[in-house]
Structure 1
Amino acid sequence: MARFFKPQKRTTDTKHKEITINRLDHLGAGIGHLNGKSVFVDGLLPTETAVVQLTEDKKNYARAKVIKRLSDSSARIKPHCAIYDQCGGCNLQHLSHQAQVVSKQQALGELMEKFAVIDQVDCIQQPPIISESWHYRRCARFAVRVENNGQLEFGFRKKQSNDIVNVNECPVLAQPLNDLLAPLRELLNSLKGRRFIGHLELTHADNGCVVLIRHLAPFNADDSALIQAFAAKHNVMLFLAPETDELIQSHGDQPYYEIDGLKLMFSPKDFIQVNRDVNIKMVAQAIEWLDVQPQDRVLDLFCGLGNFSLPLAKRAKAVVGVEGIDDMVLRATDNAQVNAQYNATFYQANLEQDVTKLEWAQEQFDKILLDPARAGAAGVMDHVVKLAPNKVVYVSCNPATLARDSQVLLQKGYQLERLGMLDMFPNTGHLESMALFVKVQKKHKK
């Protein structure tokens, strides 16, 4: 009878162990070592010692949870939020904001040095772009659920769980949105159809607050009247989403935000940068680094609704924006018309596929800006190099994919000249960054 090899299942040693943290990773978790293996522990800071229990044990690394902290770092502070130990939104409130910024800069530099094979990153790192660490967040999603006992839960998801932690006030949320939380809870509790509400999305636009209600069944006449009365009383822009791909504006004006003297309209389902102040500084820095001149043609990849494109169009001969989502392309086009930026043209394209034969890809560009999602821009990097722009600014929300994509530019005659950290999400381990690549001019032989 034939016998087949059956690998043994790795078991996790759950005995309590003592560990000392050496540094933070790029997501804010403490890193220590046990038996020569890196162990990631949320909630611990460098120099701190704690008793931990392994929750995951892989071949090359492990994860653990804190059982008891034995010593405290001098950088540790008391978290500002009453539900910090439950909520899954922030993970670095126990570290001073100044120390957070330093840690994120170090993490960015280490990743670029390690994966992009760049020496002396410190020499090119620019001052970080930061904002106030509290009340900076202008948009957030709130989960809603009614328990079997009729109790309403309204708040954020707990850490690594689908359970909801009730939120009455959030210290990182814009204050006008915080002011709506108690009235919203009262409204939800008054609705007969509250069981059919999936979630709420709140946004603080420059012209007021936006409330989007996702509901899984139609509201009856009484509930509809209560919702409309709430919108009128609190002067909010109200949107209803009876289906995932359907959006009905029920009250108020079209939301917008201002950037560089421009007014950008958006839908509450559109992506906008969560931190208004950092976004303003980020766009200004990108313009400065690209050094856009009146004769320049600029390509903006992953352009969204024109956050970078339209400020660039104020300074360039022409700007072409490319985005994968049709609705965002239409919004960007409308925003260009509203702001009289007639030299900005927008196209829809899947930037994860071959774009070589597309109309816009046949044009010549002096400078290129990329602002991809967390997955990065691997699918379009070869074409960026083929277009041979003088300068490339890469705005990233994931330093790991920035480091990966940078290798394409560095191997094809570009030099990394500037690197900066963008603290878009204070009190979290999330860091954004911006990198400037300049094409190295070949020296002509005499």
Structure 2
Amino acid sequence: MAQFYSSSPRKATQQTIIVTPHELDSLGQGVARHEGKTIFISGALPGEQVEAVIYENKRNYSKAKTKKILSPSDQRVTAACAYYEVCGGCNQQHASSALQQSNKSHALGQLFMRETGLLPRQGEVISGSAYGYRRRARLGLQYHVKQKRLQMGFRQRASNDLVEITQCPIMVNQLEQLLVPLRRCLSSLSAIKKLGHAELVLADNGPLLVLRHLAALSDDDRQILLQFAQQHHLSIYLAGDSDRLERLTGSDPYYRVDDLELGFNPRDFIQVNASVNQLMVAQALEWLDIQASDRVLDLFCGMGNFTLPIAKRARQVIGVEGVASLVRTGQKNAQINGLTNVEFMHHNLEQDVSCQPWAGQGFNKILLDPARAGAAEAIPQMVKLQPERIVYVSCNPQTLVSDTKLLLSSGYGLTQLRMLDMFPQTGHIESIALFVKKSFAHS
């Protein structure tokens, strides 16, 4: 449930109430009604009666904290993370995976109902492991002057302060095992006070570290990092400025999808949940129903996560991407995998696309995977191409619904919708939808 905040906070009353939440919002708070007002209650789950203390009152809603659980839900579980109460990374570890998924699916369906008048039938949630799934994590680094030690961890909830961590159960095990030795290694550097952040990524050919440093590293510091890399079998990249990476040691990273090898720059976007990514690509391919004669357009294509698997099956594929470096990587990936029927083009798809060379070509199927801003600029040109099928991969249900309205008004029907549980233990809702041209719906 979306929350809209007033700019004028009202004085907290510290009133104690007894309520039963009816749903869970994206922040992991129970949502209840009390005396005609919506109450958001931290620590409460749907269906359980709780005693809660209101600590903030606003015109249309109040915020409260659970004081006592009077009748616990059978969907309540013990959080797996020791830092769950303070870390800002997760907000739903106290809810079972089944409750998290059903609540997200319900929220997605209700959003469609409110905005379009349709309640689409949703297929089974596409999901993987509830923990140990995250193959990328950025860790803040901060030298604590008084304690004379380096802190490494994630941001606290509603704060810029760090939660120093030694474990993180949502990270893949190979990265989690690096947390303690990595902090120890970085603490031994002479540049300890000039470190920005450390990003850990698990590629299919091994883990890698991107270290942001705000001052030049000495030869001794570089040697320490080289020894750490050798000991833990990882690649290290140094980011002395915001635009350039220096590979200190290791090999170019890649990951596999659909039996293809996709190389990437350590700073490139890749889906953090490898298993759900595999399932998502497979679902997109199934819904596109690609034939050997098809010409497919892949918008917001990145470095080819969908483009290259499509190219294995179609006559021709064109991928369009707004980041030039990703276009170059996509071209390289096509060459590595021996795919000659695919072309990558550079264009900002949030701007007018009508004059682009691909805009007037005859594509009979389209896939798009936009950023959170959606695809409002691209859709009018897409529908002019009159594709039979459109598969839309979304990381923002609000823009998915907005773009759905455009497609519905252009003669397309929403025939399939599935939620992607890409980020278990959080409120993020990702989804995949199939739109079919009505003239092809029963052909």
TM-score of the two chains, using structure 1 as the length reference: 0.93
Verify: 1:148 aligned to 2:145, yes or no. yes
Deviation by residue 1:286-343 (Cα, 9 ceiling, x = unmatched): 0000101111111111111100000000001111111111111111111011111111
Deviation at 1:10, TM superposition (A): 5.3
Match of 1:407 among 385, 405, 408: 405
Match of 1:131 among 128, 136, 139: 128
Distance 1:313 1:305 in 2: 13
Verify: 1:50 aligned to 2:51, yes or no. yes
Distance 1:421 1:283, change over 3 A: same
Deviation at 1:42, TM superposition (A): 3.6
- Gap regions ≥5 residues in structure 1: 1-7
| Matched position secondary structure for 2:407 | helix
Distance 2:230 2:9 in 1: 59
Deviation by residue 1:146-185 (Cα, 9 ceiling, x = unmatched): 1112122101111111110011011110000011111101
| Matched position secondary structure for 1:360 | coil
- Gap regions ≥5 residues in structure 2: 1-6
354-363 or 11-20, larger mean C-alpha shift: 11-20
2:178 corresponds to: 180
CA RMSD of the aligned region, Å?
Answer: 1.8
Distance 1:414 1:421 in 2: 20
Distance 1:28 1:125 in 2: 22
Distance 1:125 1:192 in 2: 55
Deviation at 1:62, TM superposition (A): 4.1
Deviation by residue 1:211-260 (Cα, 9 ceiling, x = unmatched): 00001111112111111111122111110101111111111100000001
Q: How high is the sequence identity, in percent, across the aligned residues? A: 47
Distance 1:137 1:323, change over 3 A: same
Distance 2:67 2:38 in 1: 18
Distance 2:440 2:95 in 1: 47
Deviation at 1:34, TM superposition (A): 3.2
1:16 corresponds to: 15
Deviation at 1:41, TM superposition (A): 3.1
Deviation at 1:196, TM superposition (A): 0.7
Contact 1:396 1:434 in 2 (8 A): yes
- Residue 99 of structure 1 aligns with an amino acid whose one-letter code is L
| Matched position secondary structure for 2:177 | helix
User: 1:20-31 alignment to 2 at 5 Å?
Assistant: 20-26=20-26, 28-31=28-31
| Matched position secondary structure for 1:441 | helix
2:207 corresponds to: 209
- Residue 226 of structure 1 aligns with an amino acid whose one-letter code is I
1:108 corresponds to: 108
Distance 1:427 1:291, change over 3 A: same
Deviation at 1:435, TM superposition (A): 0.5
Deviation at 1:45, TM superposition (A): 0.9
| Matched position secondary structure for 1:361 | coil
Distance 1:142 1:167, change over 3 A: same
Distance 1:30 1:167 in 2: 27
Distance 1:12 1:413, change over 3 A: farther
User: 1:252-291 alignment to 2 at 5 Å?
Assistant: 252-291=250-289
Distance 2:368 2:312 in 1: 18
Contact 2:320 2:347 in 1 (8 A): yes
- Residue 137 of structure 1 aligns with an amino acid whose one-letter code is R
Deviation at 1:195, TM superposition (A): 1.0
2:89 corresponds to: 89
Deviation at 1:9, TM superposition (A): 5.1
| Matched position secondary structure for 2:431 | strand
Deviation at 1:55, TM superposition (A): 3.7
Distance 1:310 1:117 in 2: 36
Deviation at 1:27, TM superposition (A): 5.0
Deviation at 1:418, TM superposition (A): 0.4
Count of matched residue positions in the alignment of Structure 1 and Structure 2:
432
User: 1:27-426 alignment to 2 at 5 Å?
Assistant: 28-48=28-48, 49-55=50-56, 57=58, 59-119=59-119, 121=120, 124-149=121-146, 150-426=148-424
Distance 1:42 1:373, change over 3 A: farther
26-35 or 323-332, larger mean C-alpha shift: 26-35
